Structure 1
Amino acid sequence: MALPSADQTGNMAEMEMQWAVKAMHHAETYMQLLKAVGGKNFKLTPIDDELYSDFKRNFPDLNIAVLNDDDFKTDMAKAKWREFINKYENRVTDFNFGSLLRIDCTGDYSEDNTMFVMRTQFYCIEIARNKEGLNDSHHS
């Protein structure tokens, strides 16, 4: 029996709810880790250093402290990110899963301070914030 195509299934509310629950759980877990141990004291992936170097090389001017939607959502930005992310398909777990990312690194997750990104984008931004000390204020 063949599975239905994406066109045939449409947006299933139950699937969207499962994604939202999983993404929120991921965000809450990440913030708990930041607050408990600090960003400089743990790795998000086995290849944090490589991701950080490659990210900084490909996006040297991206403001990671306060994100700008245009750096992620314009057609040109999407194409650049897609090429970047696809390099990690077999190296980053759930590389293209949806994730929630804080827009302003000084704040917590909230409706006004959260954007949707791919998991590799989340890793790149948060690894950079951790390495550059931008998440230090969350450690209690």
Structure 2
Amino acid sequence: MAGRLPSADELEQLEDIEKQWAVKAMHHAETYFKLISSIDPAKLQLTKIDDEILKDFEETFPDINVEHLDENDFKTPAAKEKWRNFMNKYEKRVNEYNFGSLIRIDCKEDYTEKNTMFGMRMQFYAVEIARNKKGLNDSLRRDY
């Protein structure tokens, strides 16, 4: 398709892929929120290497406030490059590390249009492992 406009059939296929991605990402978000709002998030293990991911995340991104995310820490060209290098370390170790995911901006809130940003699964893992280990998702069991 490079160098030419996609045909109508190709556009339909791309739209179908986007819809499938959206359904999968939303299902993942709903499932995760049900988990953290019903059990102790500190006991939740998202990957086989949560502790390693947390240590690496905190060393690589010491200034990210996981309680309330700033999209600039994810979306600027410099941030995207830094995240790409971080995520690629886990390519062979974390399933679906590069799948699209929905990430809550404020950890005290549910997934809503205003409180959700698009990211990659590895970003989701890094942020949510940090939130769970620091007890930042604890209030969700009480509030939801």
**TM-score, normalising length: structure 1:** 0.92
Equivalent position SS for 1:100: strand
Q: Runs of 4 or more off by more than 3 Å in structure 1? A: 7-11
Equivalent position SS for 2:139: helix
**2:50 matches 1:72:** no
Give, in angstroms, the shift of residue 103 of structure 1: 0.4
Contact kept, 8 Å, 1:89 with 1:95, in 2: the verdict is yes
Structure 1: state its 5+ residue gaps. none
Separation in 2 of the partners of 1:28 and 1:56? 26
Residue in 1 that maps onto 2:43:
41
Aligned with 1:126 (options 116, 125, 128): 128
Separation in 1 of the partners of 2:65 and 2:44? 22
Give, in angstroms, the shift of residue 43 of structure 1: 0.2
Give, in angstroms, the shift of residue 67 of structure 1: 0.5
Contact kept, 8 Å, 2:54 with 2:130, in 1: the verdict is yes
Structure 2: state its 5+ residue gaps. none
Separation in 2 of the partners of 1:79 and 1:16? 24
Contact kept, 8 Å, 1:38 with 1:138, in 2: the verdict is no
Q: How many residues align?
A: 136
Separation in 1 of the partners of 2:44 and 2:74? 26
Equivalent position SS for 1:115: strand
RMSD: 1.5
Aligned with 2:33 (options 31, 34, 38): 31
Separation in 2 of the partners of 1:121 and 1:40? 18
Give, in angstroms, the shift of residue 42 of structure 1: 1.3
Structure 2: which amino acid aligns with 1:25? H
Separation in 2 of the partners of 1:101 and 1:68? 12
Aligned with 1:102 (options 101, 104, 119): 104
Structure 2: which amino acid aligns with 1:78? K
**2:93 matches 1:91:** yes
